[in-house]
A and B are shown apart, each in its own frame.
Chain A
């Protein structure tokens, strides 16, 4: 097979799609891997700023201290080289595969978010999210429900009472708040009429008055609270609260596996932030600049417009990540029974009520506009 044959094979439709998929997956995975170092830095400098002290600012190369950014690199290196201690009596198989569930589901959800409009490369239309399904939205909810296994199995396999307690609490919390999470997003499906996330972003035009947050404010309120509960972040972090249960389900995990749980927590935070940005704040749409205008500004290059959209999505998701850190260092944590009561007795009824009202309004609107 000569060189021209190889080139012809590589430029066939299927090959271009496959290569595009591989490139997309690589980009998203690398992007998600960059988030924990930045977030760890933000988590230490932001509270320092809020508490009027300096955060870590000692680690540096020579004279370049870089405001403590290299602290994250030092932390990562330390975690990788630390000795891994497996507790005696731990279930060896489950202990080692539990972090895999957390990391796997977090990255899978990161692949299902639309990072930009479809672009055309070599005559093939390529969507800018590695997993493009017409039920993309349900896929995200399904993967979030698989994330419970990482927490549950980790605590059980550690042969430690505190871990087991922490993991049972954390998993009960996660499955309890999955319901209001899904319930708060269903009205958006009713309003936009599609389960495909990219179509949802297109339906919210670039103008903020047609964004999800304006059309379904109660949904945003519920989703915002469930975001914190799903990732076990303050004020819902009783399951891994340092003053309560040592470190909860990841007490007995050290070195690389602890890094894996850490990574999955921050990637899950990023993913939920990006989801909030996508369905409530217009996703990759640039505010006040419709996509065709953006295309004209970008000299007609659709990949340039997609890149600008991608940067705006990152900005919006970054805003929510900042809010995560801000809320963590502002609010005290909930007691466990208060937390569960909030989820079942407050948020579920509000979610149901919201769903009912939205369905009624949309049905009435549709019947009225049809006549």
Chain B
């Protein structure tokens, strides 16, 4: 009973924050609600006794990735007129699609299983008896899922190198061309 109460309250707040992310006029407020979303999601993980994932969620998502988003939003500094030009093309279609998805998700949950992850073989008791959250994640991540782990880090490295290459300024082709550039800027 308390598990379901926790789940529904967290889920309701997450849904509310997500709606606010999408409908805020100001992108910084959207980013703040995104932080709220991720924080509440971490709370949901914690309510399922996955403390390690909850802490890592806050550390990585809320504490690093959204900070990056926020830097970009602040430095772009959209004018209010530019912002209000974004109109939703066909709101009726959007509402219809959302309703269908909501029914599918909720219906699926009610028909097929419990809303909280307490069934199946990865229950909290099983994980605790196997040595705790951190231990089991470590044991599985570095043995069974080692190849996907390494490939994922290669992918991230690719993205970093690509962004550096794209953002790098052009160097002057010759020495005199470089001088001309400096003079032009005064």
Determine the residue in chain A with the shortest Cβ distance to B74. A156
Query: For the complex, is B28 an interface residue (Cβ under 8 Å from A)?
Result: yes
From the candidates B26, B32, B35, B55, name the one contacting A135 in the complex (CB within 8 A).
B55
Report how many residues on chain B are interfacial, defined by Cβ distance under 8 Å.
Answer: 22
B26 x A138 contact (CB < 8 A): no
A145 x B52 contact (CB < 8 A): no
From the candidates B26, B56, B71, B75, name the one contacting A91 in the complex (CB within 8 A).
B26
A306–chain B nearest beta-carbon distance, Å: 24
Residue picked from A91, A133, A142, A145, most chain B C-beta under 10 Å: A142
CA distance A164 to B132 in the complex (A): 44
Interface size class of A (residues with CB under 8 A): 20 to 34
Residues of A123-173 whose CB lies within 8 A of B = 133-135, 138-139, 141-146, 148-149, 152-153, 156-157, 164, 168, 171
Given contacts A91-B26, A134-B133, A145-B58, is CB(A152)–CB(B32) below 8 Å? no
A175 x B67 contact (CB < 8 A): yes
From the candidates A134, A153, A157, name the one contacting B51 in the complex (CB within 8 A).
A134
CA distance A195 to B59 in the complex (A): 15
CA distance A146 to B42 in the complex (A): 13
B42–chain A nearest beta-carbon distance, Å: 8
Residue picked from B26, B55, B62, most chain A C-beta under 10 Å: B55
A144 to chain B: which residues have CB within 8 Å? 63
A135 to chain B: which residues have CB within 8 Å? 51-52, 55, 133-134
A188–chain B nearest beta-carbon distance, Å: 14
CA distance A152 to B64 in the complex (A): 13
A149 x B67 contact (CB < 8 A): yes
CA distance A149 to B29 in the complex (A): 12
Given contacts A134-B51, A138-B59, A152-B67, is CB(A94)–CB(B132) below 8 Å? no
A93 to chain B: which residues have CB within 8 Å? 29
Query: For the complex, is B70 an interface residue (Cβ under 8 Å from A)?
Result: yes
CA distance A134 to B56 in the complex (A): 13
Determine the residue in chain B with the shortest Cβ distance to A94. B28
B134 x A195 contact (CB < 8 A): yes
Residues of B106-135 whose CB lies within 8 A of A = 132-134
A148 x B55 contact (CB < 8 A): no
B51 to chain A: which residues have CB within 8 Å? 133-135
A142 x B70 contact (CB < 8 A): no
B32 to chain A: which residues have CB within 8 Å? 94, 97, 149, 153
A198–chain B nearest beta-carbon distance, Å: 15
Determine the residue in chain A with the shortest Cβ distance to B56. A138
How many residue pairs at the A-B interface have CB separations less than 8 Å? 71
A143 to chain B: which residues have CB within 8 Å? 58
Residue picked from B28, B52, B59, B64, most chain A C-beta under 10 Å: B59
Residues of B13-67 whose CB lies within 8 A of A = 26, 28-29, 32, 35, 51-52, 55-56, 58-59, 62-64, 67
CA distance A88 to B18 in the complex (A): 30
B62 x A146 contact (CB < 8 A): yes
A148 to chain B: which residues have CB within 8 Å? 63, 67
B116–chain A nearest beta-carbon distance, Å: 19
CA distance A97 to B36 in the complex (A): 13
B52 x A142 contact (CB < 8 A): no
Determine the residue in chain A with the shortest Cβ distance to B64. A145
B58 x A142 contact (CB < 8 A): yes
Residues of A156-210 whose CB lies within 8 A of B = 156-157, 164, 168, 171, 175, 178, 195
CA distance A148 to B52 in the complex (A): 22
A91 to chain B: which residues have CB within 8 Å? 26, 28
Residues of B53-110 whose CB lies within 8 A of A = 55-56, 58-59, 62-64, 67, 70-71, 74-75
A267–chain B nearest beta-carbon distance, Å: 18
Determine the residue in chain B with the shortest Cβ distance to A97. B32
Given contacts A145-B58, A149-B70, A156-B74, is CB(A138)–CB(B52) below 8 Å? yes
Residues of B162-186 whose CB lies within 8 A of A = none
From the candidates A142, A164, A171, name the one contacting B59 in the complex (CB within 8 A).
A142
Given contacts A94-B29, A156-B28, is CB(A139)–CB(B35) below 8 Å? no
B28 to chain A: which residues have CB within 8 Å? 91, 94, 153, 156-157
B56 x A152 contact (CB < 8 A): no
A159–chain B nearest beta-carbon distance, Å: 11
B132 to chain A: which residues have CB within 8 Å? 134
A149 x B55 contact (CB < 8 A): no
B55 to chain A: which residues have CB within 8 Å? 133, 135, 138-139, 141-142
CA distance A164 to B26 in the complex (A): 17
B47–chain A nearest beta-carbon distance, Å: 13
B142–chain A nearest beta-carbon distance, Å: 13
Q: List 6 A-B contacts (CB under 8 A).
A: A94-B32, A134-B132, A135-B134, A149-B35, A149-B70, A153-B70
Extra A-B contacts (5), CB below 8 Å, given A145-B63, A148-B67, A152-B74: A141-B59, A142-B56, A145-B64, A146-B63, A171-B67
User: Lowest 9 CB-CB distances: which A-B pairs, in order?
Assistant: A145-B63, A138-B55, A142-B58, A142-B59, A135-B51, A135-B55, A156-B74, A142-B55, A139-B55
